[in-house]
A and B are shown apart, each in its own frame.
Chain A
């Protein structure tokens, strides 16, 4: 049950963040940081179907994480879900076509191990 929830969390987080990144790239780089322009940009973002779907996945991930915390310690939950860092980096390469060099791979792996250690 613990690991089933971990799998749900990792899958939902990865889908959510992938969709959100895709949606935001589709919207285009936000360049104007004046409050009015930011407000307009976020109203447009809210109507973006990818971003809307990402919120749904993140809600699933959030509630699955809460359920995991009911049956497992935080010191299990955080390191186990740190696997999402690796899964998302792989998906960013395959799905979003980001070019990930050796340096970024090495950094992402170090960070994933570090997050797992910090939470122990």
Chain B
């Protein structure tokens, strides 16, 4: 494998980690923020809750990092790989919220991990690169 190939793989993995972690933590803080205290009278008031602000910022990071990843990686690569977020959500629920992980959920986690390791070994980009416009 050439140096540019392994560089692309490293860049893709790093960004995939950012996409996954920002999504999981963003949803986690958002739901934490929405559940604390009494329900606000109108939804906009929730935006001033620090947990909600943190959650929303992380979800903005999620969206931008995912778009960046899609600027070179196949959709059929990004989609399964970022499903690792479901695994992280389940494990965080168990570790921090004491949630019960049923046998079916463990089986689902195993299937996702197996699927991601299969897809992770396939070429990141299979479509031709478009020539960049002159700036």
A-side residues, CB < 8 A to B, are 17-18, 20-21, 24-30, 38, 42, 45, 51, 85, 88-89, 92-93, 96-101, 103-104, 106-120
With A30-B71, A103-B122 given, can you name 17 additional A-B contacts, CB distance below 8 Å? A17-B79, A20-B67, A21-B70, A24-B67, A29-B72, A85-B79, A96-B74, A98-B126, A103-B119, A104-B119, A107-B115, A107-B118, A107-B122, A114-B108, A115-B83, A118-B87, A119-B108
By a CB distance below 8 angstroms, the chain A residues around B122 are 101, 103-104, 107
By a CB distance below 8 angstroms, the chain B residues around A103 are 118-119, 121-122
How many A-B pairs have beta carbons closer than 8 Å: the answer is 138
Are A108 and B79 in contact, CB atoms less than 8 angstroms apart? yes
By a CB distance below 8 angstroms, the chain A residues around B121 are 103
Are B76 and A100 in contact, CB atoms less than 8 angstroms apart? yes
Are B107 and A117 in contact, CB atoms less than 8 angstroms apart? yes
Mind listing 18 A-B residue pairs with CB under 8 Å? Answer: A21-B70, A21-B75, A24-B67, A26-B130, A27-B71, A28-B130, A29-B129, A85-B80, A92-B79, A97-B127, A98-B126, A100-B76, A103-B121, A111-B83, A111-B119, A115-B112, A117-B104, A120-B105
In the complex, the chain A residue whose C-beta lies closest to that of B110 is A114
Q: Closest approach, in angstroms, between the C-beta of A42 and any C-beta of chain B?
A: 6
Q: Closest approach, in angstroms, between the C-beta of A74 and any C-beta of chain B?
A: 11
